[in-house]
Structure 1
C-alpha cells in the first residue's frame, strides 16, 4: 500500500496564534466526552468557559475559536484565541472507500489517492475540517472542494490552510484561516497523558502532557 506523501515545509509563528488540540478515548458517549474535553481545554485558556451551540449545532465558547470531532474510538477538540479553526478525526480500519471517492473527489485527488485508504482519509478529514472552520460543515458542495494533497493552502479559499497531525490508528486534520501556526497536540489516554516531543520537518507539532 502506498504511503501518503509527506508534508511540505512552513516557517510558523507562535504566541496568541497557537492552536491547542486535545484528543481522548471516545468512551461510551463520544459526544459528551468531546464536550467535556473541549470545556477542559477551554478552561486552561480563559478560566471559566461557557459552551453553547449555534443554530447549526456548531459548538461555541465566547472568547475562543473552537471545533470538535469524534470517531468510534477517539474524540478530538481544537481551540485558539484568534481566527477560526476546524478539526476532523477518522479511525483507520479496513473498508471500501472507492465509491465515496469516485463520487466526491476530483480527478487530481483520485489520481493522488490511487486506492490508498490513508490518502483517502487525509483528503476526507481535510474537507470536513475546512467545512467546520467555515461554520457550515459540508454544505454547499463542501465534499467537492479540492483539498491540498500535502499540508498547505486551500486553493479555493484564500488564506485557508490544512494541516494533518500524527496520531496512532487515526487520521486527524486541522483547518485554519491563515498559514499554519504552532500546534500543540495533547493526547489523553484515560487518566494518563503521554508526554513526548516529536520533531517535524514541516511545522512544529508538540505532543505533550502536564
Structure 2
C-alpha cells in the first residue's frame, strides 16, 4: 500500500460526499512555504467548528524524527492552523514524537507490509481509532459516527481505491522516459495531477 491510498480512504470517510480529488489541494503560503502550502489531506466540515480545517500529514520518512524535519513540521503545523480558526493537524508516523503543541494530534501506526488491502485496512483502523480518541470532542458528531461504523465494518471505499490507483498510474506514466511514454495506448490526455508531497 502507499500513503496516497491511506489518505484517499481516510478522506472518503471524513467527507464522503466530496470528490476524493478535492481533498488533495494546496493553499497560498508565505515565508518558507512561499511556493504553496500542501497538506497531504485537507478537509473542511469534519469538525464541529464549521469553518475549521482538518489537515492530515503522513510523516513516514525518518527525517521527520530528526531536528530539521521536526522543526519544519512544526512550522508547517503553524501555517496550516493559521488558515482557519479551530483547525487541527493530524500527523501520522511510525515512531514516537514529542508533543507538537495545541491542536496537533500525533498518531503512531505500525509499519505496513506489502500491497494488500489487509495492510491498508489495518493501518486505516489504527489511524481512525486514535483520531476518535484524540479528537472525540472536536469531530462533527456525524463524522464520528461514520468513523465508528467503519471500525465495525472495516470495508474500504471503492471510489477512494479507484482514485488512488488512477493517481498512482498517472504519476508513473509521467515518470517514464519519452520512449516509454510513446508506447502508451492513444486516448484523451490525462488530467494533470500532482501528489509530490505524498
Which has more helix, going by share of residues? 2
Of the two, which has the highest radius of gyration? 2
Structure 2 length-normalised TM? 0.33
Q: Which has the higher strand share?
A: 1
In the superposition, the TM-score normalised over structure 1's length comes to: 0.32
